């Protein structure tokens, strides 16, 4: 199974931006996740979602600039392209990376003003292959219920928006390899990136993970990620608790909406739910936690100090239905312990 590779690039010139966008239309399996026109915008983007590749121009790189990137991408899976019209900059860039003890792999490309998009596409394709050789992309096979997997009687449901993917990676990294529940993730994300999110997050957990599909039966030890541009509901079909995807009207201007999933889950799992609201803009999830709390479930909200945007968690807390307000690094342990007690 091929992985859709993602790219964020920093470029402040219109013509150069257009050339980069046209170039990567010709690079197989590469999707431009975003374009930052300033250092500040780049930092904000990297706080929200880590791409597979980051493209920087050599003249934009300084010690101070790398110092800002260091806590965001060092020891992550991000790989860096550094472009320059000549190779004289390469040693300077290497020295800066070495000085900061950067462990992030990078590839230096000589990009001439005369290079057209076909030449650039070939150069980047070669660079990608070289970087992937030094840091292989691991892709899990589609998650299936292995022999012995039990149908879920309990559920952990996590809702997140802006800043969510980074927090989810840390939460999943701390999850044990067995959880006596299904885990459902609802992240506000464009439709084209939900499978990419699955592939990115699956590196961080020993649990099986898959993008939600119509009719999926919920099993313990499997993480189901809501599909972009589809609402995700949990329904009962005979003896099974299943997933139902549909394109109903957007809720809070988003689809999937966390409220839709949580409200449907409460009808099926009743008090056997741990609901978690993470960083994000707006109020999505608040109505859902009200219904879950009324059904006897337990609700966790991320605290303000560790939230990129304290909108959704704040709204949930103000509803009076939150049992625990926690920093992201405590959410995994607490939610798993709580679900064991259900």
Compute the distance between CA of residue 330 and CA of residue 342 in angstroms, rounded to an integer: 19
Known catalytic residue at 188: yes
Compute the distance between CA of residue 78 and CA of residue 273 in angstroms, rounded to an integer: 34
For residue 133, the model assigns a pLDDT of 66
Which of 77, 182, 188, 315 does the annotation list as catalytic? 188
pLDDT band of 144, cuts 50, 70, 90: low
Tokens 């059904």, residue located: 295
How high does pLDDT run on average in the chain?
A: 86
For residue 82, the model assigns a pLDDT of 87
Summarised one tens digit per residue, pLDDT across range 25-83 is: 777 777 787 888 888 888 888 877 778 888 888 888 888 888 888 888 877 778 888 88
For residue 206, the model assigns a pLDDT of 84
The CA-based dihedral angle spanning residues 173, 322, 336, 202, taken in that order and rounded to the nearest 10 degrees: -30
* CA within 13 Å, CB half, 330: 10
For residue 134, the model assigns a pLDDT of 55
Residue 4 has pLDDT above 80, yes or no: no
Closest CA to 22 of 130, 137, 115: 115
Residue 139 has pLDDT above 50, yes or no: no
Domains and CATH numbers, the chain: 5-134 (3.40.50.2300), 155-341 (3.40.50.180)
Output 96 or 338, whichever has higher pLDDT: 338
Contact, 331 vs 302, CB < 8 A?
A: yes
Compute the distance between CA of residue 275 and CA of residue 270 in angstroms, rounded to an integer: 12
Known catalytic residue at 149: no
pTM higher than 0.75, yes or no? no
Contact, 285 vs 315, CB < 8 A?
A: yes
CA-based torsion, 289, 294, 299, 304: positive or negative: positive
Residue 142 has pLDDT above 70, yes or no: no
Q: Where are the alpha helices (DSSP H) in 192-247?
A: 194-202
Contact, 279 vs 301, CB < 8 A?
A: no
pLDDT band of 215, cuts 50, 70, 90: very high
Which of 52, 77, 284, 303 does the annotation list as catalytic? 284
Residues in the chain: 342
Closest CA to 169 of 209, 218, 135: 209
Which of 58, 161, 202, 264 does the annotation list as catalytic? 161
Known catalytic residue at 319: no
For residue 314, the model assigns a pLDDT of 97
């Amino acid at each position: 199974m091929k992985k859709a590779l993602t790219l964020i690039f920093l470029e402040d010139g219109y013509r150069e931006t257009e050339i980069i966008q046209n170039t990567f239309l010709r690079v197989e399996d590469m999707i431009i996740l975003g374009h930052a026109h300033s250092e500040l915008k780049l930092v904000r983007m990297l706080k929200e979602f880590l791409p597979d590749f980051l493209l920087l121009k050599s003249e934009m790189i300084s010690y101070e600039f790398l110092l800002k990137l260091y806590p965001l991408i060092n020891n992550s899976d991000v790989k860096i392209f550094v472009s320059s019209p000549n190779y004289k900059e390469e040693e300077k860039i290497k020295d800066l990376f070495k000085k900061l003890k950067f462990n992030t792999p990078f590839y230096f490309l000589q990009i001439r003003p005369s290079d057209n998009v076909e030449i650039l596409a070939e150069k980047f394709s070669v660079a990608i292959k070289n970087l992937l050789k030094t840091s292989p992309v691991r892709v899990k096979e589609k998650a299936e219920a292995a022999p012995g997997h039990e149908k879920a009687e309990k559920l952990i449901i996590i809702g997140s928006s802006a800043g969510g993917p980074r927090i989810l990676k840390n939460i999943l990294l701390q999850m044990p390899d067995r959880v006596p529940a299904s885990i459902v993730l609802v992240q506000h994300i464009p439709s084209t990136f939900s499978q990419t999110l699955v592939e990115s997050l699956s590196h961080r957990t020993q649990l099986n993970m898959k993008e939600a599909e119509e009719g999926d039966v919920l099993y313990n030890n499997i993480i189901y990620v809501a599909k972009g541009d589809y609402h995700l509901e949990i329904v009962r079909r005979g003896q099974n608790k299943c997933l139902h995807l549909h394109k109903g009207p957007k809720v809070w201007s988003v689809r999937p909406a966390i409220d839709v999933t949580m409200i449907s889950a409460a009808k099926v799992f009743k008090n056997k739910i741990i609901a978690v609201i993470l960083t994000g803009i707006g109020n999505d999830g608040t109505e859902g936690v009200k219904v879950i709390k009324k059904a006897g479930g337990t609700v966790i909200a991320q605290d303000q100090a560790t939230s990129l945007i304290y909108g959704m968690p704040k709204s949930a807390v103000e509803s009076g239905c939150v049992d625990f307000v926690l920093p992201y690094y405590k959410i995994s342990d607490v939610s798993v312990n709580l679900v064991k007690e259900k």
